[in-house]
A = this chain, B = another copy of it.
């Protein structure tokens, strides 16, 4: 009798061809001219899901691109329900961006497939359909109930998914969420991400005179808004590069000693950073390693500055206003609203009397964290260990996946980030690529995970 994994291996070439078919659909969600392609990708997935035995498959409309839903709920009420999340839309890609070959005509070179979406997220997402197929085709059933939620707007901020999840709370109800949309470090190093950071994106507008004025007439007698803004920004960090906003760290879940040990396994070195992006030195909050700073600690960045004359040459203007985009990456259990309020109050307290400053919040996302010793996580660890022959390392993600907080809040469910991409896949850039070995390893791991998670008490 064939096992699901044997089935997966026997069908490896067809699985790859299916991936190639999906990759050929240019489902660029941000491009209005590609709306049809986005729909084609949704329909292709729906058909594939129906073909492999997923039930109740629907291409569900939203105010934007559709959500593809499907489930198989016949494992019984005593078995856990797994919600699989993924996205079938991709970032824009044009040859002119520097691609070596057509981004929507996948090419395999040395075991690596080159195409837009190969890693982010079509390749990783498809592992879950192919693991479902492999189990269903060999066993005729699954050891757990399963729901698929595949969206078409992840690359444009999941615009309509938050409302969609809230509106379909019962339909999406599950015991654990699984997603594969993140990178690991090496093909031979299994890793699970257990936290993502939140976001509080703000804009500071400093205003002074009612109009731009002549620096020879008013320079030196009024507070220059660009100077005042720089002075405000310079007070956002302490001398040890920690954030100076009072109360900023109040809700931060502190790193435990064993967590710090775990994070050392994925240590980032000064030379790594200097080599990757050419900075003369690293920087950051004293008392924390680079890995801890980028994953386990909140940050406050200046994303943009604009004031006065910015063209070539000189113009002796004293600008009426100055603007900064400031964003914080948050960690559990910080909330964007509280961080916004604290920052706003602090900026008000340090704004010089000669100018006015306004702080607005313009984007936000909650951080998410799943306990490393939770039963769901332990199931995943067992799956990885059996398939990869090595225990997965635990990682914290520096970026933000706000949808995880929505899953937590609306569905009461924790999310496991079983990333099967590599950090170096070049997602969002030219020549995005994906080591096909990870595609197959992902399918195997997902299969095993279904059996491990089936032991979860629900």
Could you list which residues of chain A lie within 8 angstroms of chain B, going by C-beta atoms?
197, 199, 201, 208-211, 213-224, 226-227, 229-231, 233-237, 268, 273, 277-285, 290, 293-294, 297, 299, 301-310, 313-319, 322-325, 327, 329, 352-356, 362-363, 397-400
Inside 8 A of A221's CB, which chain B residues have their CB? 268, 273, 282-284, 290, 293-294
Asked whether B318 lies within 8 Å of A279 as measured between CB atoms, the reply is no
Task: Judge whether A329 and B293 touch: CB under 8 Å.
Answer: no
Given A201-B316, A313-B363, A362-B313: A302 in contact with B218 (beta carbons within 8 A): no
Supposing A219-B294, A309-B325, A363-B314 touch, asked if A303 and B319 sit within 8 A by C-beta, the answer is: yes
Q: Please pick, from B223, B231, B294, B302, the residue contacting A217 in the complex, using a CB distance under 8 A.
A: B294
Nearest-Cβ distance from residue A155 to partner chain B, whole angstroms: 13
Find out whether the CB atom of A234 lies under 8 angstroms from the CB atom of B237: no
Residues from chain B with Cβ under 8 Å of A235 in the complex: 234
Q: What is the oligomeric copy number?
A: 2
Q: Quick check: B305 and A318 within 8 Å, CB to CB?
A: no
Q: How far is the CA of A302 from the CA of B277 in the complex (A)?
A: 29
Asked, given contacts A215-B327, A218-B294, A277-B209, whether A226 binds B283 with beta carbons under 8 Å apart, the answer is no
* Residues B210 and A278 in contact, CB atoms below 8 Å apart: yes
Cα distance A273–B209 in the bound complex, in angstroms: 9
Closest residue of chain B to A274 (Cβ to Cβ) is B222
Contact of A310 among B216, B325, B352, B355 (CB under 8 A): B325
Give Cα A327 to B324, complex, Å.
Answer: 21
Complex contact B314–A327 (CB within 8 A): yes
CB neighbours (8 Å) of A353 from chain B are 280-281
**A277 engages B362 (CB within 8 Å):** no
* B306–A306 CB distance below 8 A: yes
| Inter-subunit contact B224/A234 (CB<8 Å) | no
List of B residues within 8 angstroms of A363 by Cβ: 313-314
- The distance in angstroms between the C-alpha atoms of A319 and B209, with both chains bound, is 28
> 23 A-B pairs, CB-CB below 8 angstroms?
A208-B279, A211-B277, A215-B303, A215-B329, A216-B397, A216-B398, A217-B294, A218-B294, A220-B294, A220-B301, A220-B329, A221-B294, A222-B284, A227-B237, A230-B231, A233-B234, A301-B318, A303-B315, A304-B319, A305-B307, A310-B323, A314-B362, A316-B400
